[in-house]
Structure 1
Amino acid sequence: MTPSARVQAAIELLDLVIEGARAGGAAADTVIARYFKERRYAGSKDRRAVRDLVYRAIRRCGDAPASGRAALLGLTRDDPGLAELFDGSVHGPAPIADGEEAAPAGLLPGWIVPRLDPLIAGEEWPALLDRAPLDVRVNRLRGTREEALAKLADAQPTPLSPLGLRLPEGFRVEESEAWRSGLVEIQDEGSQLLALACAVAPGEVALDLCAGAGGKTLALAAEMANQGRILASDADRGRLSRLAPRLERAGVTIVEPRLLDPGREAEQLADLAGTLDLVLVDAPCSGSGTWRRNPETRWRLTPKRLDQLVALQARLLDVAAGLLRPGGRLVYAVCSLLAEEGRDQAAALSVRSSLEPQPVPLAAGRPAGTGRLLSPAVDGTDGFFVACWSRP
C-alpha cells in the first residue's frame, strides 16, 4: 500500500467505526480485523500503520466525528506530512478542499465531564485515553510469580498487584508456554486488585454475579486454593460459554456456571438466599475506566444508556444483598469513573439496605465516599470503583 492508500484505508475504517458506534455495531478492533481479512494484499507494516492512524484519530475526537475523513483531517493540524497524502491519487483520498472542516479536538464527550467522579481532575483526563499496558495475573494454582518471570523473560512485576506481570506491547501471550499451561491469565492489574479485595478464603461459598467470561472467577478460585464453591452467573450465554475451557486450563474445579435470564436473577438465585460468604457484583457499566483500551466506546454512551445502567446496577445490588449469610460480604465493582455508577451507587445502597459499609482492603486507590477509586493517571490501572459491605 502507498502512504496515501493507507490514509484512505484509515478513513474507510473510521467511517465503519463511527457507524458502529451510532448503531451498536462491532468494536473498533473487530472492525479493523474484518477489514484486513478481506484485503490480504495489505502487509503487516500496512496494517500497523493504518491501525495507528485510526486509533490516533479516535483518541483525538471527544465526540463522534461527522465522518472518517473529518477525523483524519483533524490529525493534519499537527502533521503537515499527513496533509500532503490527501493527494487525489488512484487509491488515496481526494485533496483537501478550501474551507473543508476537520473534526474538533477533544478528550471526552461534553456531557460526560460533569458526571466524572470529583476526584478525576482535568489533568487526569489525557491518561483515560493513553494506551493501556499488557498485564497478566499469575495463577497460584499453577505456580508462583517467580516461576512465571522465569518463563516470560520480557516480563516485569506490576507495582501494585503481588500476582501481576507487565509485558511489552504486542507480546503474544497466548503463544507462550506460561499461558498454555495455565500459569498466567491476561488481566489488568486493576482487575487483579479487585479480586484480592474480595478477601476470599479456602472453603467459602461465593457468587460472581456478573461473571462474563470468568476472569475474576478464576482469580477468586485461585485465592480459595480451589477449595469451596463458586457460582459464576451471567445473562450473556456467549460470554459465559467461554468459561469452561479457561477453568480447565487454570486447573479450577470448584466453579459452577449458571446462566440467568435478565430480570429474573432473584428468582433463579433464590436457592442461595442467606447462604453466601461472598457476592461479587462486577456490574455492567459505562466502561469509562477502560476507554484507553477501547476509546471509541465513549462515542457509544448516551445519557439514556447511562440511566439504564445505573438502574440495572442498583437492581443487581439488591439481588446480591439478599443472598448473603450473616457476616457475609458484598463487593461492588465497576470499571467506571462516573460518580453515578460509583460513589453515588454505593451511598444509595448503604441508605436503603441493612448492610454495613466496610473498608475496602486495598492500599491502592483513593477514598471515594464509602469506596475506593483506581484511575489510570494515579494508579496506572484501568479505572475502577470498588466498595464493600457485610451483613450484620
Structure 2
Amino acid sequence: MDLQKSANNTTLEPWISQAEYAKKLRPLLPVEAFFPNYSSVWLLLINVAILVLGWGIAHDLDQWSWGWLWLYLPFSLVMGNSIIVLLFSTHDLLHSKAIKHPSIRQFVSLIGLTLLWSPPTFWKAVHNREHHSKTNSSHDPDRNYLYEQPNNWGKWIQNLFVPSTEVHLFWLVVGMGHAWGMHMFRNLSSVLLFNNGLTNYPPAAFKVSLKERKAIAFEFLVILAIHLSILFYLGFHPVKLLLSYFLPIWIGYAGIMFYVYTNHMLCRMTDINDPLINSVSIRVPKLFNLLHLNFSYHTEHHVFPGINSNYYPQVQALLQTYYGDRFNLIDAGKAWRLLLKTPRHYKTENTFTDLKGEKIVSCPLSCDDDIDIRNAL
C-alpha cells in the first residue's frame, strides 16, 4: 500500500496491539523463520575484520604521496557501510538467541556496538525494553519531542539536525553525521549521571537497575578504551584520522540516521503499541536490503522483533493481505520528502508543529484528507 490512503481508511481506531498482530500472523509463517539467524553473527565478525583491515592500511598513509590519498576513499566508504552493518547485525543478535552463552553474547555485542558508542546493556534497555514496548508513545526515548517539553539543549540540537520544514541544509548535512552521537550522549548521560527518569533533555527519560547501571558504566569505559587505542594506533595523524576514523563514522552514522528518521518520525503517537500505525517500512533498492539485513522492513520488525530478517518480505506480504488499510509502506524518497515538508515536534498525538508552535500540520500518514498528503508530497 502506498502513502495515499482514502479518508475511509485513515480513522483506524481501535488500536491493534503488537501481540495481536503476532498471534494472528505467526501460524502463517514457516517455523524456521523463528530459528536463530547465525548469519548475523558472521556478518558482525566480517565487518569488524573489514574495519581492522582499513585501519591497518591507514597506518601507513603517512608514507603515501598526497596525490594518491584519494585512493583510500573507497576504503572509507566500505568502512562506513561496515559501521551500518555492525549496528544492524548486533541489533538482530540482541533480539535473537543466535549466541546463547550470556558472556560470549555480551562480548560479541560489545565489539559490534563499540563504534556506535552504545554499551550492549544500555542498548537492551533503551531499544529492546523501552523503544519496542512503548513505540512512539509519550514514554518512547526515540520519539520526536513534544512541543510542550522545555526548549532545552537536547530539544534544540534535535531541532537543528533533523529533517523538517525548518532545517537548514548545512545543519541537516552536519546532523546526518552527528545526530547518532547526540542521541547516544543524551540518553547515556541521563542514565549514568542521574538515572531518575526525570531528566528533561531526552524526549523521554527512563531508569535502569543498579546492576544495569554498573554494567553500562563498565562497558562504556571499555568502548572508550577501544576508541583511544584506535587513535593511538593511527598516531593521532590528522589525515589518517580523517580518512579511516572520522569519515567512516560520519558515513556510517548518516546511513543509520536515514533509516532512523524514516522509521517512526512521520507517524502519529499511539498509547497502545500498534506497529502498523506508529512505524513505517520503506522501499529501497534491493542492494541496500542485501547490505543492511532488510532493515527497511521496519514495521515487520516491530511485529516480530526476534524473527530472522530474511523472512521480513513474507511478513510484509501478510501485512498487505490482512492489514493493507493500516500498513505504512512508502518509497524511501517520498518518506524523505515528507520529513522535509513537515515540522518535527508533536503538538498533539496526531499533529506536528515547529519549535515556536506557529505552524501546525496533520500527521501525513493519518490525516483525514488525502489531498493534504498529495500537497505534502
Q: Shorter-chain TM-score: which interval?
A: under 0.3
Structure with more relative contact order (C-alpha pairs < 8 Å, separation 6 or more): 2
Relative to the length of structure 2, the TM-score reads 0.28
Q: Which has the larger radius of gyration?
A: 1
Task: Choose between structure 1 and 2: higher strand proportion.
Answer: 1
Normalised TM-score (structure 1): 0.27
